[in-house]
Each structure stands twice: as C-alpha cells, then as structure tokens.
Amino acid sequence: MNANDSAGCPFGHGSNPASATPAASGDPTAVHYHDYLQLDKILGAQAPESDKHGADAHDEMLFIIIHQTYELWFKQLHWEADSLVGIMAQPAVMDNSPELQTVVHRLQRMATILRVLVQQIDILETMTPMDFLDFRDLLRPASGFQSWQFKLLEAKLGLKFEHRHGQEYYTAFLRGEHVDLIKSAEGSHSFLQLVNAWLERFPFLDQPELWEEYGARYGAPNFWSAYQQQYAGSLAEAEKDNLGYFEEVFGRQESTHYTLSARANRAALFIMLYRGYPLLQLPFQLLNGLLEIDEQLSTWRHRHMNMVHRMIGTRVGTGGSSGKDYLKAAADKHYIFKEIAQLTSFLIERRRLPELPKAVERKLGFMA
C-alpha cells in the first residue's frame, strides 16, 4: 500500500494528488465528500445567541454542537426503531430467521449509540457552571424538554402515556406538528407491543402432548405447573409473598395495567431459563437487547440529571421545569421494558429447572 493511501476512513484521506478523483477534477456528476455530507448546511448551522447580543460566551458553540449531535443520533435511533417495527409487524417472525438476526443486530446498534450519548456528557461537562451562565439566560424559553425526537422515540419503543411523568405538560411546549407525531406513535403498535405479539406466538408451552410425561415425573400436567412447584420450593420464608405476584404475572386475566400478557410473560421466562438451546439463543439476545437499551436510557437520564444539578443546582430549567427534580422523577419512572426486567425475579437455579421432555429438546436443538 502506498504511504499516501487512506488508512481507515471509508472516503479515503491522503490519496495521491496525481490520481485525482473525478469529483476533484470538476466532474459535475461525481459524488464529492463535501457535497455528499452537505457540509455547507451542517457547518453553517451553528448560530450562537451570544453572538447576536454581542456577549462573550466561548462555550456556547460547544453547547450547540453537542445538542445538534444528540439530535442527529436520535434521528439514527428512529431509523433503526422504524425498521424494527417493520420487521416485528410481520404476521410471523421465525425464531432463528435472518429477520430476527437483523432485529438483534439493530438493537445492539441502538444500545451502542446510546452508550455514545452517555459518553458525550463527559465532553459537555468540560463546560463549567460559570461558562454556562455566560449564555444560559439568552436561551429562554428554549429547553431540552422540547426535544420532540426523544419523546417520539420513547413512544415508538413502548412508553405509554399513562406511565409518563409530568403528563399534563410533557407535550405542552412542543410545536403542533411534533405533538401530532408523538400522539400518532402512541396510537400505533409500539415495538414493545409487537414483541408481546411475537412472544405470544411462541410454541411448545401450549402443546399438551409434549408434556405428558410430566404427570409421572413431577405430578404436574404441564411445564408451567411443574415450574411453579420448583419456584415455590426455591423461595426463602421472607419471599413467600412472591407466589401471589407469580400468579399475577403468569396466570392473570388480561389487564390494561400491563403491556405484556401472561402468555407472553411465560414465553419470555422460558426463553431466559433455557437460552442455552440453539433455537432460543436469538430470542434471548432480543430480550437482553431490550434490557440493555433500557439500562443505557436510564444511565443517560441519570447522567443528564447529575450534570444539570452540577450546572444550575436547584434553579429551574430554562423551559420552566423544576430542573433536577423533574429529571429525577422521569428517570425513576420511564423504564420502557421494565416488565421484561421484572421477570428475573422468577428465575431459579439451573439445578432446579424441570428437565425438558426429549421431544421438546429435539425441537429446541434443531434435531429431527
């Protein structure tokens, strides 16, 4: 490789001028880096308020670029989330299909992007509270509370209106067209609802012929009765009240209080328990990806809350919210996939797991 050749950038930095590309030579039909990325628009999109008022506020440029970057990443998260909804909305998604592999891969990408969003706070925190005060009052009433992309993303993933903190004004400061987008997402099938439908299609548990041997082995008519016995036997005395919760989660009649049905919960727990079988590895990665996204969203919210407290203390936000107190309440409440996370309360030790019938093992292991 020539010493002047690119070493890492897909666009190829450092190429030999003697072999100029068509774009560099003036060919109007050729793609050029600058034009492809529309850098005139991007690099000209920073207009500090402090410049308009003749104020000296060096760090406002950093503040703008960080938040513009956040919004660009939110756009990418929407791009991924929309593709996931499109895949999971299909009448059937096989548990070891290329489609499910794509879902798992894109969930992992979303979690990686969210980790980057958390890390960007490190850069923003190089701005001191006094640096922020140089331009903070010039931003009123603008506020991060007006980030409609973030609220829309929450709705697409599955955060219900009734589970939001500050319901009375969470869209009050948004523009009408952005409120319409959020309301439309709330009225459509969210990704979590589509995951519920996918879990409800899970086979095996509702096929009595597969579990006939459990009568002799466990004195139970099916897997679920056998598992409930094993779970009850694993509880400490102080945990006995969990049995009522177990019945509520896995045996209840349908309720609007939950997004996941009892049937979907049974399938999800079965996937967690027996994830070592080949057929269940991708479904487990999907569920684990949802928990990772929730964890990264929570980490971002808490880092944001602590940064706000560091910057403005107990003062109200520029948009009129209660600042840290609002952010803390939202961070504590806005868990989108908490129903899946709560299933870990019902796991038991591997040595206690009911042994699966051979017919089920063959199906889970791709054996004829």
Binding-site residues from annotation for substrate? 63-67, 136, 318
Closest CA to 319 of 122, 148, 66, 121: 148
Query: Which residues participate in the annotated binding site for heme?
Result: 304
- The CA distance from 153 to 275, in Å, is 29
Query: Which residues participate in the annotated binding site?
Result: 63-67, 136, 304, 318
Q: Would you call 214 exposed, middle or buried from its count of C-beta atoms within 10 A (0-12, 13-18, 19+)? A: buried
Query: Quick check: 194 and 88 in contact, CB under 8 A?
Result: yes
- The CA distance from 157 to 336, in Å, is 7
End-to-end CA distance of the chain: 51
Please write down the long-range contacts of 152-156, taking CB distance under 8 Å and 24 or more positions apart. Answer: 152/78, 152/178, 152/181, 152/182, 152/185, 153/74, 153/77, 153/78, 153/81, 154/334, 154/336, 155/182, 155/185, 155/186, 155/190, 156/78, 156/81, 156/82, 156/85, 156/185, 156/190, 156/191
Per the listing, tokens 């299609």 go with: 201
- The CA distance from 161 to 34, in Å, is 42
Q: What angle do CA 261, 291, 303 make, to 5 degrees?
A: 130
Sequence-separated (6 or more) residues with CB below 8 Å from residue 346: 231, 242, 246, 249, 250, 269
Query: Quick check: 305 and 334 in contact, CB under 8 A?
Result: no
Query: What one-letter code names the amino acid at 269?
Result: L
What's the DSSP call for residue 37?
T
Query: What one-letter code names the amino acid at 242?
Result: N
Per the listing, tokens 């987008």 go with: 181
